[in-house]
Structure 1
Amino acid sequence: MLDRIADIPGEALNNPAYLADAARTRADLRGALWKLERSQVFRELKDPSWEAFMAGDWRGALDLLENDRVAVRAEAKRHAVQGLEIRRVRVAEMPIGPYLQWELHALKLLADEGDGLSVLTADQVSALETSAPLPEVNVVGDRVLYHIQYEDDGTPCGARRITDPAVIGAAASEIEALYRRGEPLLDFFEREVAPLSAPSV
């Protein structure tokens, strides 16, 4: 199913509309929210840590991430009370590029505070990418699938909203299977990311 998401009809939402719709859809969700991330470079606009990273201030970027820990922990507690479980699969091309090195530090913070994160290398998913890379997808329970859209430079520009129950169920099952195949992010981070020196942008 994941390799056919791009061909499945969906409602086009610009980025503000997508973010608002996703917030409403997950507000009372109990159970799993599945995320699949494949692209290796994004533009994290209005993120102070990403801006510091792009400016070459690696130490400052990491300090800004750490400053978010209290807020991340509070959000994790809200999710636990709600009964919402965030489960994310991150595909990593090796060797790790500068952006992904920064993002994996950000994802480690989420994993530290309770989000489920799993990593697969690009080689491990290559058999699923016969015609195109895997899509960027958020599956909100059994309610909606968002096929996330980006500009060519990695700037978020919205999503396609898909509500076909068969598509949602199949995509969620496939992402869950990838999640179970992957390595826990914290283990991957300690082996592959922690030893790296500061990246050059």
Structure 2
Amino acid sequence: MLDLRPPALPAEHGERLSDDDYSRDFRARRSAIRDGESWKLERLQHFEEVGSPSRDALARGDWEESLRLMEGRHEALREAALKDERHNSPFHRVRVVQEPLTPYVQWELHSLRQRARCGHRIRVLAAEAVAASETGGLLPELVVLDNRTLYRVLYDRTGVAEGAVRYTDPAIVTPWVAYLRDAWAAGEDVLSYFDRVVAHLPPPVTSTAE
């Protein structure tokens, strides 16, 4: 268990960004990283993703087509991983998972498995492992770039992105980097988790809400 109290993340100390501003800021800062590590924490069990044909196929209930479309990203994912290697800028992703899996998370784990096979660094952490960190509510959705810039990524109740709050104060960012390192260390490689938990599952049953 990750028996740690999560650091503070006061909204008044961050800068609110629209979804477009967050996307632009994220891309600019990430592309500039050299010799620095980054982190991503995903906690929610459902997101809506705009512009993903594979995700759209899942929403229609066409599981085979969803997986087929996912495979088309292989070369782009491999090139992204190689770029991180060239820049010595590893990006660590921690996915908190509750079982039984939601249709979205089952789909996402197929996506994360593909990413891992292309060289991306991804681990899975059981929701039970972060229970001690969530006595005051669920962990936030976070991205930290170059151990310097932290984004709290915001979503509405249906899982639609609503921008982010950006933090650059080391007094706020540094404790979260330490927390995410511990979360990463406590996680299981996504490939072994997939083989153990996901590979044998039947196609997820979606609904009109999905």
TM bracket, shorter-chain basis? over 0.9
CA contact (8 A) 1:117 1:185 kept: yes
Gap change, CA 1:66 and 1:126, over 3 Å in 2: same
Let me know the Cα RMSD of the aligned residues.
1.2
Q: Aligned residues: percent identity?
A: 37
The answer to whether residue 205 in structure 2 is matched with residue 200 in structure 1 is: yes
Pair 1:117 & 2:122 matched:
yes
Per the alignment, residue 60 of structure 1 pairs with 65
Once the two structures are TM-superposed, the CA of residue 6 in structure 1 deviates from its matched residue by 5.0
Pick aligned residue for 2:148 from 137, 143, 150: 143
Q: Give the equivalent residue in structure 2 for 1:5.
A: 9
TM-score for both structures, normalised by structure 1: 0.96
CA distance in structure 1 between the partners assigned to 2:44 and 2:138 by the alignment: 8
**2:50 maps to 1:25:** no
Mapped partners of 1:2, 1:107: distance in 2 = 25
Shift of 1:113: 1.1
Change (3 A) 1:6 1:114: farther
Determine the structure 2 residue equivalent to 1:42.
47
2:13 alignment partner, SS class: coil
CA distance in 1, matches of 2:72, 2:21: 28
Distance 2:104 2:182 in 1: 26
Contact 1:6–1:135 under 8 Å retained in 2: no
User: Structure 1 stretches (4+) deviating beyond 4 angstroms?
Assistant: none
Which letter maps to 2:31?
Answer: A
1: CA distance, partners of 2:9 / 2:201? 35
Shift of 1:143: 2.3
**1:104 maps to which residue?**
109
* 8 Å contact from structure 1 (residues 5, 135) kept in 2: no
Pick one of 154, 158, 165 that aligns with 2:163: 158
Q: How many residues align?
A: 201
1:91 maps to which of 96, 120, 144: 96
* 1:14 has 2:18 as partner: yes
